[in-house]
A and B are shown apart, each in its own frame.
Chain A
Amino acid sequence: MKNDPVDVLIIGAGASGAAVAWSLADTKMHILCLDQGGWMNPAEYPSTGRDWEAKFYGEWSSSPNVRKRPEDYPINDDNSPIKVVNFNAVGGSTVMYTAHWPRLHPSDFKVKTLDGVADDWPIDYDALTPFFEENDRMMGVSGLSGDPLSPLSHPPMPPQPLGLSGPLLGKALNKLGWHWWPSDTTVATMDYEGRARCINLGHCTPACAQGAKASTDITYWPHAIRAGVELKTHCRVREILTNEHGMASGVVYYDKDGVEQFQPAEVVIIACNGVGTPRLLLNSVSGKFPNGLANSSGLVGKNLMFHPYAQIYGFVKEPTDSNRAPPTCLWSKEFYDTDLSRGFVRGYGIQFGRGAGPVFEAVASEQKGILPWGKDHHRVFRRLNGHRLAVSAICEDLPEEHNRVTLDPVLKDSHGIPAPKIDYTISANSRKMMDHALARGREVLDAAGATDICINDPIPWGGWHLLGTARMGTDPSRSVVNEWGRSHDVKNLFIVDGSIFVTSGGVNPTSTIQALALYIADQMKQRLANLFD
């Protein structure tokens, strides 16, 4: 079935797709977004039920391979120590994330210049500054301006309370003389733009029933739809087609009834994340593009960066926030920048966790062997439960071509579309960085008086940040899109998600992903008269 053509077709309604849709809406072009998922119903979110913790092991797992909702696609990540986690719905993975909201630092855009590794970005931090600010207003950020070791931000809402865990960690970090600061988050600490303030449901990551945590289904999308953007749900795109001029002509997708449709478009924008985007491009094979669309460089799917997470946690005598607060509270940039005396290049941010709920604590501690079976179980559990403090280092992953997304020769999704396959190893540089971070984390926990120290090295289900697989650059032989997100090969094809990252920095990337999407939309609007030149 063929539909009426649209001016702009956006694939994916998550973090970046929503931002670019909202920004382009003021052009009054006919904009359509297709998403394989649907609208979520907050009344069904886990924290509304007594079984809220159990759901995280099943239908609300962060892994699509465990969750297996109809909207999910399988991912073969057997050949990776870090497993891919995501969420497929309107709002994408912003429905299911910790809402931790740092920005990449200015130095992250000039890695080659500063440290002689990887590549510089073709843009700098200053180019993104106005879009960071705009995005913070749209998503609704809480935080405390003035962090001496983070880029200056102006959160429109005050920070989350330090709670019980924050002061325990702050005192420990002060003993060590290390930097720390309350995290910027997209958790509303006051009523904001129709969102109710946070009431500390605690179980924030698998979606916020209160609507205090920003996800783009409740931030950007209502504005974009009011401005005329059309959003079709449960539509899974199979491939992008091209015409005789080598331009994208539209997409083939399966609608909610499984019927194959063709949607013509003048401009196609991909916003499917660092795994979904290369999967779509590699599935879009034609005579003119035999190795996949936009892949003359051969780099589509390569340079996958995850951020290996090195986590260390322990248990203090004092009560912590446990499950009675958002999961993270502080960050530290003490080890963010390169210091070669540490034995590795680049660095890591640290995010500090407030604690865990009783089921999670019981399951995790039993698996780690610190919670025994038998008569001692009760005594030990009461010492652990509600007393956890966690230190998680987000290690900067440098791009390496052998870390990649390809198409699995066997595995397919429910529509028969080849699934992505991940091949990934942790580099020697990352390994040294993780060891350093674990040693420093132990010092923090020692200073806090924690015992029963446990390690997740890496956090196995920690592949939240999917970056680098369609990198941006000015050289078409070394990049997939140019410095404003347009494919070098297909001049009406744009990519706006985390796959265009050149390097990963050492922080959660969603703030930067959305600022990039807004920047690209702005570049497109400035060039509408000659967008394809």
Chain B
Amino acid sequence: MSDVKQLTAAQRADLRTVAAMIVPESAEYRVPGADDPAIQADMLATLGRDTALAAQALDHLAQLAGKPLAELDEARRDAVAQEFRKHGGAAAATLVRVVLQCYYRDDRVLRSLGLELRAPFPKGHVLPEGDWSLLDPVRERGGTLRRAT
């Protein structure tokens, strides 16, 4: 695998385009698309060990498209995307995962989902006790452990 340290301008442009194809903006849910500048900046800043595979995926995408993804008409872009996802292997999966992991930690997105904007620690969560009487039928049925003697 090549020792890629960062994405090229062309790769970044295609990343924006494909990210918006995966998760578009929605007025209904009041959320940005994954091409939102802040979410894109998060992706680029935290790409880290995924850079090489993401670059490989974007090169594959560029090869399928033959030109910048944004310049394709919608039907052609969708066809390219389908081909990319079907045959892109680990590199495509990595690229999609990078998009989703940055999208689903954005404050606006979490707020729309009704989730708190915080790390799990130190506040944690409260878990309801649940109905322990549901165990009564299990107790009533009983049972024995199998033994050799």
**Does residue B63 face the partner (Cβ distance < 8 Å to A)?**
no
**Does residue A146 face the partner (Cβ distance < 8 Å to B)?**
yes
- In angstroms, Cα B97 to Cα A220, docked, is 38
Q: Which chain B residues (59-88) contact chain A, with CB distance < 8 Å? A: 81, 85
Assess whether A378 is in contact with B119, with CB atoms less than 8 Å apart. no
Assess whether A199 is in contact with B124, with CB atoms less than 8 Å apart. yes
Assess whether A54 is in contact with B148, with CB atoms less than 8 Å apart. no
- In angstroms, Cα B139 to Cα A193, docked, is 31
Q: Which residues of B contact A202 (CB under 8 A)?
A: 120, 125
- In angstroms, Cα B129 to Cα A358, docked, is 23
Q: Which residues of A contact B105 (CB under 8 A)?
A: 50-51, 53-54, 359
- In angstroms, Cα B17 to Cα A373, docked, is 12
CB proximity of B146 to chain A, nearest CB, Å:
4
| Interface residues of A, dominant DSSP | loop
**Does residue A374 face the partner (Cβ distance < 8 Å to B)?**
yes
**Does residue A435 face the partner (Cβ distance < 8 Å to B)?**
no
CB proximity of B22 to chain A, nearest CB, Å:
5
Assess whether B138 is in contact with A179, with CB atoms less than 8 Å apart. yes
Q: Which residues of B contact A164 (CB under 8 A)?
A: 128, 130
Whether A148 touches B141, Cβ cut-off 8 Å, given contacts A163-B130, A378-B28, is: yes
The proximity string for A residues 69-109 relative to B, scoring 1 for CB distances below 8 Å and 0 otherwise, is 00000000000000000000000000000000000011101
Q: Which residues of B contact A382 (CB under 8 A)?
A: 29, 113
How many chain A residues have a CB neighbour from B under 8 Å?
A: 66
Whether A366 touches B100, Cβ cut-off 8 Å, given contacts A50-B118, A58-B48, A321-B127, is: yes
- In angstroms, Cα B121 to Cα A209, docked, is 7
Q: Which residues of B contact A325 (CB under 8 A)?
A: 125, 127
CB proximity of B97 to chain A, nearest CB, Å:
5
Q: Which residues of A contact B96 (CB under 8 A)?
A: 363, 366-367
CB proximity of B83 to chain A, nearest CB, Å:
13
How many chain B residues have a CB neighbour from A under 8 Å?
A: 55
CB proximity of A373 to chain B, nearest CB, Å:
5
- In angstroms, Cα B28 to Cα A203, docked, is 31
Query: B144 — nearest CB in chain A belongs to which residue?
Result: A148
Whether A324 touches B24, Cβ cut-off 8 Å, given contacts A54-B46, A367-B93, A378-B29, is: no
Q: Which residues of B contact A203 (CB under 8 A)?
A: 120
Assess whether B104 is in contact with A362, with CB atoms less than 8 Å apart. yes
Query: A362 — nearest CB in chain B belongs to which residue?
Result: B100
**Does residue B3 face the partner (Cβ distance < 8 Å to A)?**
no
Q: Which residues of B contact A59 (CB under 8 A)?
A: 49
Q: Which residues of A contact B28 (CB under 8 A)?
A: 378
Instruction: Select one of A51, A151, A200 contacting B126, CB under 8 A.
Output: A200
Q: Which chain B residues (107-140) contact chain A, with CB distance < 8 Å? A: 110, 113, 115, 117-132, 134-135, 137-139
CB proximity of A123 to chain B, nearest CB, Å:
13
**Does residue A375 face the partner (Cβ distance < 8 Å to B)?**
yes
Q: Which residues of B contact A48 (CB under 8 A)?
A: 119, 121-122
Query: A326 — nearest CB in chain B belongs to which residue?
Result: B127
**Does residue A296 face the partner (Cβ distance < 8 Å to B)?**
no
CB proximity of A494 to chain B, nearest CB, Å:
27
Assess whether A373 is in contact with B125, with CB atoms less than 8 Å apart. no
Instruction: Select one of A52, A106, A324, A359 contacting B148, CB under 8 A.
Output: A106
Q: Which chain A residues (141-188) contact chain B, with CB distance < 8 Å? A: 146, 148-151, 160-164, 166-167, 170-171, 174, 177, 179-182
Instruction: Select one of B120, B123, B148 contacting A113, CB under 8 A.
Output: B148
Q: Which residues of B contact A (CB under 8 A)?
A: 21-24, 26, 28-29, 31, 46, 48-50, 81, 85, 93, 96-97, 100-105, 110, 113, 115, 117-132, 134-135, 137-139, 141-148
Q: Which residues of A contact B (CB under 8 A)?
A: 45, 47-54, 57-59, 105-107, 109-110, 113-114, 124, 146, 148-151, 160-164, 166-167, 170-171, 174, 177, 179-182, 198-203, 209-210, 321, 323-325, 337, 358-359, 362-363, 366-367, 373-375, 377-378, 382, 385
A-B CB proximity, top 10 nearest:
A162-B130, A199-B124, A110-B148, A324-B125, A148-B143, A170-B134, A200-B125, A201-B120, A47-B120, A107-B146
